Structure 1
Amino acid sequence: MFPLGMFQLYIASGIPYQLADILGNNSFIFNNSEARVIHLAFALFLASMAYPLLRASPRRYVPWYDWLLGLAGVAACLYLLVFKNEIAVRAGLPTTGDLIASTIGMVVLAIAVFRSLGLPLVVVACVFVLYVFFGHSDVLPDAIRWKGASYGKAMWHFWMQTEGVFGVALGVSASMIFLFVAFGSILEKAGAGNWFIKIAFALLGHLRGGPAKAAVVASAMSGLYSGSSIANTVTTGTFTIPLMKRTGFSAEKAGAVEVASSTNGQLTPPVMGAAAFLISEFTGISYPEIIKHAFLPAVISYIALVYIVHLEALKMGLKGCPSRPRI
Structure 2
Amino acid sequence: MNPMCPMKAQIIKSLLINASVIPNRMKILSSFGVIRYRMISTHKSKKKIREYYRLLNLDEECSADDVRESFRKLAKQYHPDSGSSTADSVMFIKIEEAYRNVLSYVIQQTNARQKKADDAEEEDKFKYKTPQHRHYLSFEGVGLGTPSQREKQYRQFRADRATEQVMEYQKHKLYSQYFADSLIIKDVRESKKQKITQAIERLVEDLIQESMAKGDFDNLSGKGKPLKKFSGCSYIDPMTHNLNRILIDNGYQPEWILMQKEIKDTINQLREGILASRKKLGNPMTTIEQREWNQLCEQFQENIRKLNKRIDDFNLCSPPDLAESSF
TM range (shorter): under 0.3
Structure number with higher relative contact order (C-alpha < 8 Å, ≥ 6 residues apart): 1
TM-score in terms of structure 1 length: 0.17
Higher helix share: 2
